[in-house]
Structure 1
Amino acid sequence: MHKRALLIAFHFPPQAGSSGIQRTLSFSRHLPASGWEPMVLTARERIYINQNPSQLASIPPGLQVRRAFGLDAKLHLGWRGRYLNATALPDRWATWCLGAIPAGLSMIRAERPHVIWSTFPIPTAHLIGLALHRLTGLPWIADFRDPMLQPAYPTDKTQRRVYGWIENQTIRRCSKAVFTTHGAMMSYRQRFPDLAAEKFVVIENGYDEDMFGPDTGNAPQAAPDAGRPLMLVHSGLLYNTGRDPSPFLDAVARLKARAVVGAANLRIVLRAPGNIPGINALIERHGVADIVTTAPSVPYAQALAEMLTADGLLLFQGTPFNNQIPAKVYEYFRAQRPIFGLVDHGGETARTLAAAGFGDAALIDDAAEIATRLAHFLDRLRAGGAHVAPAELVAQSSRSHRARQLAAVFDEVAGASRPRELRHVA
């Protein structure tokens, strides 16, 4: 295998707490099938406040991983959680540049990769990609899991200026800018109208078939047995801004008051919602503790198995995240279970669900609309007539398919670059 790609990623095992590790891991696992040998440049383990060493087992055997020096300004340069803003520009992990740029040059000198790929939402990753691109002349693909500059973030003026400079340099100097949603891509095309449309590409997130196990086929489940309560599951964090469960709990309480639902016919599990005591207090306040329960975090494979046994899956994604699609959407597609969306109808998640044929969605902040649409959704579940993802969509949502899309981008930019000696690294 003669084509090599240098992948620059802050989120990589054993880092815990970000689903972003799955994007880089899946590309590392599946790119070889398309003729590309990946190498990963990441940070030393000490930089991560939250770690899950068990994730190290998911790194593909034989993958070259270089862990460069870096510090967390809050953890290593601060005092009792307080630190100087100057040590955290563009982000708390800016010192990673000090180790990663020399390490990246060393890898490029030794392995002669054909392309560089870096992934945000840590701006320092794109800063490293920019430096290595300028120093070597290698074509550079910049991956945006989220937009860099957003209306309400960053709030600090100095940090916002630094973000803006990195974003502008990245968009203008990279060979391709890759986004996970069409909405995010279009926002960048509108902000940079002088750049060719072909520069902007969408490669969505996806699910990893290996994590579902060998015995999880694609057959959708039939109507539930009579007398058994329906089970709805939400897997993942909930919080006040953008994923507030309060209107949903209010809607469940309204249906309970009208005897539409009760403990005998409905069970709702909020798996790993984050602030479990706070969520439990909301559940008690709305008087639905006999229907809705919280559950602690479980290993990833176990969470996927729970999705497969659910009658329906819940999705919370409100207005602040209109240009984003949670990675669990694609896991929900693979589980082939009906989905009830609590969304902003004008957001990217709502558009994706509608395009996939999922019509059961309600405005996340409107308890009355949620109650009406949820009642209809439950009726379809009991009748076995709720929509599930078709096989073609399931196949297109796999991470192996996304890796083939990325390999095609690599092929394009590597083929378009003129052969030349690498700058400054011979």
Structure 2
Amino acid sequence: MHNRALLIAFHFPPQAASSGIQRSLSFSRHLPASGWEPMVLTARASVYQNQNPSQLASIPPKLTVRRAFALDAKHHLGWRGRYLNASALPDRWVTWSLGAIPAGLSMIRAQRPRLIWSTFPIATAHLIGLALHRLTGLPWVADFRDPMLQPAYPTNKSQRRMYAWIEQQTIRRCSKAVFTTQGAMASYRARFPDLDPNKFVVIENGYEEDAFGAAEDGAAPGEKSGPLVLVHSGLLYDTGRDPSAFLDALAQLKARGVIDAGKLKVILRAPGNIGAVSALIERYGVADIAATAAPVPYREALAEMAAADGLLLFQGTPFNNQIPAKVYEYFRARKPIFGLVDHAGETARVLGAGGFEDMAFIDDAGEIASRLALFLERLGAGAAHVAPRDLVERSSRAHRARQLGALFDEVVHGPAKREASRAA
């Protein structure tokens, strides 16, 4: 295989604090099926404060992985959590560039990749990609898992200036800029109107098929008895993913006799601050219906999704240009979904495009109550919508890797090669 690609990714196993490792890891696993041999340039494991060594087993055994020197300014260069602002520009891991640029040059000279790919939200990754692109002339594909410069982020003026410079250099010098949502891509096209709009493309996140086999085995269906079970798996926040209005809606439906503990059970799995969310549940008087639950290993969480009657999704206005990665896992679980969203946001758009109409504004308890009551009726009757098979297939990480492989073909060989890749 002569088409090699150098992937620059800070988030890579055994790092465990970001779901971003799944995007980088899945591309490294699935790109060979599209004729591309990946090599990964990442950071030494000692820089990760949160690690999951079991994830190392997911790395393909023949994959070249180079782990360059890196320090975390907060933990390695600071004192009691305080550190110099200058040591963390553009981010706390800027020292990674000191080891990664020479390591990347060494890999390029030895392995002769055809292009470079780097992924944000660690800005230093794009800084390394920029340096290697300038030094070698290799084409560069820049991946934005989140928009880089946002209205309220970064808040630090020096960091914001540095982000703005890196973003400008990246967008103007890369061959393609890849985003995970249509809304994020549209915002960049609007901000850079002088650039060819075809430079900006979308490759969404997805689910990993391998993880679902064991999960479904552990959730074999049996005779249904007891209440309907709704599950939300993941973090909840005061802003953007606040469950208060949802719990208020449960209280309203309970007061009207629409639901009770014998009809409905709601599980809020791994919400982050379990104490605070549990206190909200008590405040709204629905502790007999809703409960928090501690985090469990990933496959157990998938098994719980697969066994549930329906799945809950929280994604409010502050995250309108983002789509939670669990959406694609929800599609694969082929369970009905109730969305607590902003109707103008990307998450609502993706749900609607998939045929899911059971949605309510996340902060409107009245709308939630009325729409949830209808959703529960459809659940009980077995008539609630689930993801169609073609949507499930398109949402897989293997499919996303095929999209990236076709994009690499276009960058290196021209648009005709990409069209041939799509046809194949």
Aligned pairs for 1:239-388 (under 5 A) are 239-388=237-386
**SS of match in other structure, 2:344:** coil
Aligned pairs for 1:9-408 (under 5 A) are 9-213=9-213, 216=216, 225=224, 228-408=226-406
Amino acid at match of 2:109: R
For 1:397 and 1:73, locate their aligned partners in 2 and report how far apart those are by CA, in whole Å.
37
For 2:250 and 2:215, locate their aligned partners in 1 and report how far apart those are by CA, in whole Å.
34
For 1:38 and 1:12, locate their aligned partners in 2 and report how far apart those are by CA, in whole Å.
14
CA contact (8 A) 2:234 2:269 kept: yes
Per-residue deviation, 1:176: 0.2
CA contact (8 A) 2:233 2:301 kept: yes
TM-score w.r.t. the length of structure 1 is 0.95
Deviation per residue, 1:275-330 (Å, 9 max, x gap): 11111111111111111111111111111111111000000000110000011000
CA contact (8 A) 1:3 1:35 kept: yes
Judge which range, 282-291 or 357-366, deviates more: 282-291
Per-residue deviation, 1:54: 1.3
For 1:243 and 1:17, locate their aligned partners in 2 and report how far apart those are by CA, in whole Å.
19
**SS of match in other structure, 1:269:** strand
CA contact (8 A) 1:5 1:39 kept: yes
Amino acid at match of 1:374: L
For 2:149 and 2:215, locate their aligned partners in 1 and report how far apart those are by CA, in whole Å.
43
Judge which range, 205-214 or 95-104, deviates more: 205-214
- Matched-pair identity in %: 77
For 1:185 and 1:204, locate their aligned partners in 2 and report how far apart those are by CA, in whole Å.
11
Query: Which stretches in structure 1 are left out of the alignment for 5+ residues?
Result: 418-426
For 1:56 and 1:293, locate their aligned partners in 2 and report how far apart those are by CA, in whole Å.
33
CA contact (8 A) 1:253 1:286 kept: yes
Amino acid at match of 2:166: I
Per-residue deviation, 1:215: 8.0
CA contact (8 A) 1:179 1:202 kept: yes
Residue in 2 that maps onto 1:423: none
Residue in 1 that maps onto 2:418: none
For 2:237 and 2:310, locate their aligned partners in 1 and report how far apart those are by CA, in whole Å.
21
Deviation per residue, 1:227-254 (Å, 9 max, x gap): 5200000011111111011111111111
For 2:414 and 2:110, locate their aligned partners in 1 and report how far apart those are by CA, in whole Å.
23
Deviation per residue, 1:150-189 (Å, 9 max, x gap): 1111111111111000000000000000000000000000
For 1:379 and 1:138, locate their aligned partners in 2 and report how far apart those are by CA, in whole Å.
57
Query: Which stretches in structure 2 are left out of the alignment for 5+ residues?
Result: 416-424
**SS of match in other structure, 2:347:** helix
Per-residue deviation, 1:216: 3.9
For 1:241 and 1:58, locate their aligned partners in 2 and report how far apart those are by CA, in whole Å.
34
Query: Cα 1:172–1:221, aligned 2, differ >3 Å: closer, same or farther?
Result: farther
Per-residue deviation, 1:416: 4.2
CA contact (8 A) 1:221 1:337 kept: no
Per-residue deviation, 1:61: 1.3
For 2:171 and 2:210, locate their aligned partners in 1 and report how far apart those are by CA, in whole Å.
34
**SS of match in other structure, 1:252:** helix
CA contact (8 A) 1:317 1:342 kept: yes
**SS of match in other structure, 1:74:** helix
**SS of match in other structure, 2:42:** strand
**SS of match in other structure, 1:13:** coil
For 1:212 and 1:13, locate their aligned partners in 2 and report how far apart those are by CA, in whole Å.
19
Deviation per residue, 1:27-63 (Å, 9 max, x gap): 0110011111111000001111111111111111111
For 1:9 and 1:245, locate their aligned partners in 2 and report how far apart those are by CA, in whole Å.
33
For 1:127 and 1:229, locate their aligned partners in 2 and report how far apart those are by CA, in whole Å.
52
Residue in 2 that maps onto 1:421: none
**SS of match in other structure, 1:30:** helix
Amino acid at match of 1:6: L
Amino acid at match of 2:327: V
RMSD: 1.6
- Could you list the structure 1 runs, at least 4 aligned residues long, displaced by more than 3 angstroms after superposition: 214-217
For 1:214 and 1:382, locate their aligned partners in 2 and report how far apart those are by CA, in whole Å.
27
**SS of match in other structure, 2:252:** helix
Amino acid at match of 1:326: P
